[in-house]
Structure 1
Amino acid sequence: MAVQWVLVCHGLVTLLVVVSFLCGQWPIFQGTFIERIHFFLTSGAYDYFLRFVGAVFGSKCSNAVLSVEYYCCDRPNPILQIFYLGILSMTYYFIVKSSFAYIPGYYLSGIHRYTSLLAVAVGILLFLLTSFSDPGTINSANVSQYLSAYPYDNIIYAEKECSTCKIQKPARSKHCSICDRCVARFDHHCGWMNNCIGERNTRYFMAFLLWHFLLCLYGTVAIGLVLAGRLKELRVVYILTVYYGIENSFLGLAPHVAQWLLGSYNTLILIAVFLAIVGMLLAGFFGYHAKLCLTNTTTNETFKWQEYMSWQRKLNEAKASAAALRASISGMSSDRKPLLSKWRAFFQRSPLQDGQIVQNNVYDKGFVHNVVEVIYPLSSRPSFTRPKLKPT
């Protein structure tokens, strides 16, 4: 029984660490212990480690650690790509070793031995497509086409030159400091892919997220059916009710069935829990990016809009404060005005509400057009490279 509780605690701790690391910065966790764990995992622990290395081994060792950090985080490198392939191959290896002996089974046919391999192969193919495809690199040869394809909105994008590439920056583009190139319709730099996600490969990235979510769902359901089949084949419920006299109800049988499964198939259960957790995270990540695609927005633009609206909000507050100050000064010098009813003052519109800030995304051209633009990027269309005719 002690082993089962260790496995349960291990699963809960793993879930807490994964959720805290990936989702701890979300607004829903603000001010909670999950946010504090996220801060410790992402920056606090590393700062303590640097201080420890500097105090014990000196500045040369701490500089060496910073050099490794620069290579891992600030330059293109295949570390996370290798890590992904390692996770995928080891997970599939453990699934094969622990579950293929029971396939075909009571609920699963033998074809799942081959469909599972095919599903993993498709996932690797999408990974390679996203990793090694051109995200939409902007250079002197195609900058004019991108300038025509994405006009400036003069809100979050205005005409300017890239200080590194020395070419004009089209709207929606950004110079990636890691890849050292300007990328059209830049979304973010993905360390797992060792590549930027931009105008030309967002479709592969979305397909990668969706497929891996379905892959995790498939694995979780398949393992669940394997375990359900073992319960049926070994007649566990019959033995518990007839020979041990346990009440034939869900509440009566569930603890004993769970104990038997943890004792007999703990590896399969751990894999299923791992796949379920990763699947939920992938579903959330895919949902977030799907929403961006449906509104023709990028992750980079989301931050730009937040900065712009925050600046506008502060500007409106400053204007309202200045107007209130002028009104109070003029009120002191003029005749005394009749007092405003408390009810009227309660329902009176706030000066800040008069200047509501609206996000005006000029690139959002409707659900269908936005989806087509992701699936069939502008730069891959014949009209993109066709020279524009000048009016006579």
Structure 2
Amino acid sequence: MAVQWVLVCHGLVTLLVVISFLCGQWPIFQGTFIERIHYFLTFGAYDYFLRFVGAVFGSKGTNAMLSVEYFCCDRPNPILQIIYLAIIGGTYYLIANSSFEYIPGYYLSGVHRYTSLLAVGVGVLLFLLTSFSDPGTVKADNVSKYISAYPYDGIIYSEKECSTCKIPKPARSKHCSVCDRCVARFDHHCGWMNNCIGERNTRYFMAFLLWHFLLCIYGTVTIGLVLAGQLKELRVSYILTVYYGIDNSFRSLAPHVVQWLLASYNTQILLMVFLAIVSLLLAGFFGYHANLCLTNTTTNETFKWQDYLSWQKKLNEAKASAAALKASVSGMRSEGNTPKSKWRAFFRKSPLEDMQVVKNNIYDKGFFQNLLEIVFPPSTRSSLFQTKSKSG
């Protein structure tokens, strides 16, 4: 039984590390131990390792590590793409090698041997489509098209020039320091895709996330049905109750059934737990980006809006403080007048309570229109309309 507890603890620790690494920077985990683990994994551990290399190998070792860091993090490279292909290929191989011998089974037909391969193939296709499609690169010959597609809002975007490309900078665009190009409706640079996520490939990226979430759910359920089928075919519950005298109830049978499964099908269980954890992470990531798409906001813009709202709030507070100071000075000058009720002054609201900071996102045009802009990007539609008008 000790081995089973070791596996459970290993799974919980793995889940904690994966969630901390991938999601530790989310606002929901701010100020928690998950955020601190994320900081250690993404910065602290590397910083200590860099100091260790410097102490052992000197400046040459440190410079070599910094060169590797520059290649891996600051320049386009296929490392994470290769890792993705290794993960999905290795996981499918392990599932096929450990579970296909039980398909067809009590609950599954033989068609799942082929549908699983098709599902993985579609996932890889969406990955390649997102990785190698144009995210919406802004160039001198198409910059006017993007400027007309995305007007300046005068709040977080105003008319200016990209200091690197030396061309007008359309609203919602950003110069990606990794790819060294301006990208229209820039969301973020995705290392897994080795590509930016922008106006033209956000739809592929969202399809990739959704499909891989469903793929992980499909794998988890399928392996679960394989194990349930084995329990049924081998009559495990019957043997435990008749030959070992265990009470025929869920509470009594469950620990023994789990122990038998861990002993006989540990590979399948580990794969099922892995797929379940990844599906939860993908669900959270997809939900976050789906919310951004439905409100017509990008990841890049969330930070811009946070900075703007914070600045606007401080400005309003300063104005309210100045108004309160002015009112108090005026009150001191008019002390000779009839004194006002202290109770009224006590219950009077502070000027700060009347100050409201509103996010005025002009790009949010409603649920349906926002979704339409993801599926059919405005720049592609405007080019089609221009072509039709010229031909007419």
Shorter-chain TM-score: which interval?
Answer: over 0.9
Task: Report 1:181-196 matches (<5 A).
Answer: 181-196=181-196
Supply the distance in 2 between the matched residues of 1:317 and 1:292 (Cα, whole angstroms): 29
Q: By how many angstroms is 1:384 displaced?
A: 5.1
Supply the distance in 2 between the matched residues of 1:323 and 1:363 (Cα, whole angstroms): 34
Task: Show the counterpart of 2:346.
Answer: 345
Structure 1 counterpart of 2:289, which letter?
H
Structure 2 counterpart of 1:345, which letter?
F
Task: Report 1:1-392 matches (<5 A).
Answer: 1-335=1-335, 337-341=339-343, 345-346=346-347, 348-381=348-381, 383=383, 386=386
Does the aligned pair in 2 maintain the 1:183–1:198 contact within 8 Å? yes
Supply the distance in 1 between the matched residues of 2:99 and 2:118 (Cα, whole angstroms): 17
Supply the distance in 2 between the matched residues of 1:384 and 1:154 (Cα, whole angstroms): 28
Report the secondary structure of 2:175's partner residue: strand
Provide, for residues 12-48 of structure 1, a one-character-per-residue CA deviation record: whole Å limited to 9, x for no partner: 1100100111111223222222111111001110111
Report the secondary structure of 1:196's partner residue: strand
Q: By how many angstroms is 1:188 displaced?
A: 0.5
Structure 1 counterpart of 2:271, which letter?
I
Provide, for residues 40-60 of structure 1, a one-character-per-residue CA deviation record: whole Å limited to 9, x for no partner: 001110111111111121111
Q: CA RMSD in A?
A: 1.7
Identity of aligned residues (%): 79
Report the secondary structure of 1:349's partner residue: coil
Provide, for residues 52-93 of structure 1, a one-character-per-residue CA deviation record: whole Å limited to 9, x for no partner: 111121111111101111111010000100010011111111
Q: By how many angstroms is 1:333 displaced?
A: 3.4
Does the aligned pair in 1 maintain the 2:146–2:184 contact within 8 Å? yes
Unaligned residue ranges in structure 2 (runs of 5+): none
Query: What TM-score does the superposition give when structure 2 sets the normalisation length?
Result: 0.95
Report the secondary structure of 2:156's partner residue: coil
Supply the distance in 1 between the matched residues of 2:75 and 2:385 (Cα, whole angstroms): 32
Supply the distance in 1 between the matched residues of 2:321 and 2:258 (Cα, whole angstroms): 63
Structure 2 counterpart of 1:192, which letter?
W
Structure 1 segments of 4 or more deviating over 6 A? none
Report the secondary structure of 2:160's partner residue: coil
Q: By how many angstroms is 1:2 displaced?
A: 2.5
Structure 1 counterpart of 2:12, which letter?
L
Does the aligned pair in 2 maintain the 1:145–1:385 contact within 8 Å? no
Supply the distance in 2 between the matched residues of 1:384 and 1:309 (Cα, whole angstroms): 37
Report the secondary structure of 1:386's partner residue: helix
Structure 2 counterpart of 1:70, which letter?
Y
